[in-house]
């Protein structure tokens, strides 16, 4: 009895959507890199007090006018997205500038 084997098409797993965050640029002193501070508010699980939490992310800026100065300045609101590791600390990239800083 020869059993017919069904060949399943090679399915590649989809990557899904990358995580995105919105934050304020706190430093642009590195080449092709900005530091983005993302703030969030959450309630304490037991006591309910509202807590402010901050996290800093290093994000890659692909500037085609390199080595010119990065066009993203401190105080700008930007959207960053998760990506493959670019360096030791960089795992995020700048997707868009949402709002330019008013103190420039």
Q: What is the CATH number of the domain that holds 55?
A: 2.40.50.140
In a domain, 7, yes or no: no
Residue 11 resides in a domain: no
**Is 47 a residue whose pLDDT tops 80?**
yes
User: Is the separation of the CB atoms in 98 and 22 below 8 Å?
Assistant: yes
The reply to whether 46 falls in a domain is yes
Per DSSP, 58 falls in state E
Q: What is the mean pLDDT of residues 31-48?
A: 96
pTM assigned to the model: 0.78
Range of the domain at 60: 20-99
Question: Position of tokens 């080595």?
Answer: 67
Give the count of domains, the chain.
Answer: 1
First-to-last alpha carbon distance for the chain, in angstroms, is 80
| Reported confidence tier of residue 2, pLDDT bands at 50, 70, 90 | low
- The alpha carbons of the chain give a radius of gyration, in whole angstroms, of 21
Mean of the pLDDT values across residues 41-45?
96
49: pLDDT strictly greater than 70? yes
**Is 50 among the domain residues?**
yes
Q: In whole numbers, what is the pLDDT of the chain averaged over residues?
A: 87
User: DSSP class of residue 47?
Assistant: T
Residue bearing the bigger pLDDT, 63 or 73:
73
Helices (H) then strands (E): counts for the chain: 0, 5
- 13 located within any domain: no
């Amino acid at each position: 009895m020869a059993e017919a084997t069904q060949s399943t098409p090679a399915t590649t797993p989809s990557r899904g959507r990358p995580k995105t965050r919105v934050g304020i640029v706190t430093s642009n002193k590195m080449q092709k890199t900005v530091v983005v501070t993302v703030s969030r508010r959450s309630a304490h699980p037991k006591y309910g007090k509202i807590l402010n939490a901050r996290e800093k992310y290093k994000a890659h800026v692909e500037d085609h006018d390199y080595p010119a100065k990065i066009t993203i300045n401190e105080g700008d609101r930007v959207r960053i997205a998760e990506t493959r590791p670019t360096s030791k600390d960089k795992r995020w990239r700048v997707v868009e500038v949402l709002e330019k800083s008013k103190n420039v």
